């Protein structure tokens, strides 16, 4: 029997506060399937206000190194954070297929009906981890939050896990850390740029990044 979600959350918090840099996906995966989305929401909510742990020297070195590793691997793997695991769970909880969620988004955001197929394609890419979470517009996150019945803050934090270093996970200090943050900003901008074709309101929602 999977552990109680409250116990998993407590263990995650203890590990975080101890500076062990726990993997959120790993802890969410320990819960039973119906409990994973609520547990992920609780972990995101905790990390939004979590204190910076007292990292030892080895942990700080590892943190400082992560962005450089990610930048080198970005050409073959685009960061998707927690979205690939969280979004399907939230959809299933709402009894929505990807197509149904796309149709609901088109209606909720007042998009043209002919944008439904493109919206569905972007949702599928988001679940596959092929989109940079920083590119998701605030209007899109508001719409998803309403349709999936979760707080907007949960979706804001979903990009902070997995391959992309969020502020809550990457807290190195000093000139070198600032240089690495600048490199990541450039990388994120490149990933969000249009890859050809006509840029429209759907591209703006999923890749424009205006929050």
What is the rounded CA–CA span in Å between residue 104 and residue 168?
32
Q: Is 145 exposed, middle or buried (0-12, 13-18, 19+ CB in 10 A)?
A: middle
Per-residue b/e over 34-51, b at no fewer than 16 CB within 10 Å? ebbbbbbbbbbebbeeee
* Chain segment 10-24, per-residue pLDDT in tens: 999 998 888 888 888
- Torsion sign across C-alpha atoms 145, 78, 43, 134: negative
Nearest-CA neighbor of 81 among 92, 70, 72? 70
User: What mean pLDDT comes out for the span 175-203?
Assistant: 55
Task: Read off the pLDDT band of 48 (50, 70, 90).
Answer: low
The answer to whether the beta carbons of residues 179 and 70 sit under 8 Å apart is no
How many C-beta atoms surround the C-beta of residue 146 within 10 A?
13
* Chain segment 59-109, per-residue pLDDT in tens: 666 655 554 334 434 433 445 677 888 898 888 888 999 999 999 999 999
pLDDT at res. 147: 94
Count of domains observed in the chain: 1
User: What mean pLDDT comes out for the span 164-168?
Assistant: 37
- Listing DSSP states for the chain in one string gives -PPPHHHHHHHHHHHHHTT----HHHHHHTS-HHHHHHHHHHHHHHHHHPPPP---HHHHHHHHHHHHHHHHHTTT----TTHHHHHHHHHHHTT--HHHHHHHHHHHTT--GGGHHHHHHHHHHHHTT-S-GGG--HHHHHHHHHHHT--HHHHHHGGGSTTS--TTT----SHHHHHHHHHHHHHHHHHHS--SS---HHHHHHHS---
pLDDT above 90 as % of the chain: 28
**What residue numbers bound the domain in which 59 lies?**
5-207
């Amino acid at each position: 029997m999977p552990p109680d979600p409250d116990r998993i959350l407590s263990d995650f918090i203890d590990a975080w506060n101890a500076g062990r840099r726990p993997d959120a996906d790993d802890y969410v995966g320990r819960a039973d399937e119906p409990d994973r989305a609520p547990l992920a929401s609780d972990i995101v909510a905790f990390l939004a206000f979590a204190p910076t742990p007292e990292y030892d020297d080895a942990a700080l070195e590892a943190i400082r190194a992560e962005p450089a590793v990610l930048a080198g691997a970005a050409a073959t793997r685009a960061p998707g954070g927690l979205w690939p695991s969280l979004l399907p769970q939230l959809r299933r909880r709402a009894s929505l297929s990807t197509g149904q969620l796309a149709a609901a988004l088109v209606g909720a955001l007042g998009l043209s009906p002919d944008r439904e197929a493109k919206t569905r394609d972007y949702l599928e890419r988001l679940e596959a981890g092929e989109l940079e979470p920083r590119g998701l517009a605030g209007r899109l996150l508001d719409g998803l939050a309403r349709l999936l019945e979760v707080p907007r803050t949960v979706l804001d934090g979903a990009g902070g896990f997995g391959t992309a270093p969020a502020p809550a996970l990457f807290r190195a200090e000093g000139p070198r850390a600032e240089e690495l943050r600048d490199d990541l900003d450039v990388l994120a901008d490149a990933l969000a740029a249009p890859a050809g074709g006509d840029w429209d309101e759907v591209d703006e929602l999923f890749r424009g990044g205006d929050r």
